[in-house]
Amino acid sequence: MDQAVFEVLTQALSSDEKIRVTAEQRIKELEQLPEYPVSLAKMALAQDIGIPQRQISFD
């Protein structure tokens, strides 16, 4: 789950509109899963991933 959240958040930062829109739709699907907030919290606290991904996990 953590890897899927990381990947979709990275895609949501894409400048390619098609990739970004697809990622935003996938995020809406992931939001329905109970483990989604836990994955976001892990990303926000992780020191080994990029700042943009950590910041977007707060949105």
**Which carries the bigger pLDDT value, residue 30 or residue 43?**
30
Q: Residue 47: its pLDDT value, please?
A: 86
CA 57, CA 59: separation in Å to the nearest integer? Answer: 6
Evaluate if pTM is beyond 0.95.
no
Which tokens go with 26? 């996938």
Task: Give me the number of domains the chain comprises.
Answer: 1
Q: For position 52, what pLDDT does the model report?
A: 82
Q: What is the domain extent for residue 38?
A: 2-56
CA–CA distances in Å: residue 33 to residues 1, 7, 11, 14, 49: 10, 16, 19, 24, 23
pLDDT at residue 22 in the model: 98
